[in-house]
Amino acid sequence: MKIKKGDSVSIISGKDRGKSGKVLKVFPAEGKILVEGVFLKKKRQRPKKSGQKGETISIASRIDSSNAMVFCKHCKRGTRVGFLNSGDKKLRVCKKCKNEI
């Protein structure tokens, strides 16, 4: 999987197309990612103490990694990721502008 935790991604398909956010968690076995502020689901929460009211909260849910592209700061848009071997290090680079991500 070419998307890592902490990357900025832009959503390219689904109900949140056009939004962008930071990757909070990656699930490589399922091919899914958790993005901040994207694909929010509502959850009803019970009251914790007596006399308190229950509430509805929004929680970010997992999306398929194929629905997101890594956001390149230099190109200012979503891009594909390539790899470049620099000595003993393997760098992730933008396919359009060849700058390191």
The structural domains of the chain, ordered by start, are 8-73 (2.30.30.30)
Question: What is the rounded CA–CA span in Å between residue 85 and residue 12?
Answer: 28
CA dihedral 8, 10, 16, 17 (to 10 degrees): 180
pLDDT band, very low/low/confident/very high, at 28 (cuts 50, 70, 90): very high
pLDDT in tens, 66-101: 999 999 989 888 899 999 998 889 999 999 888 888
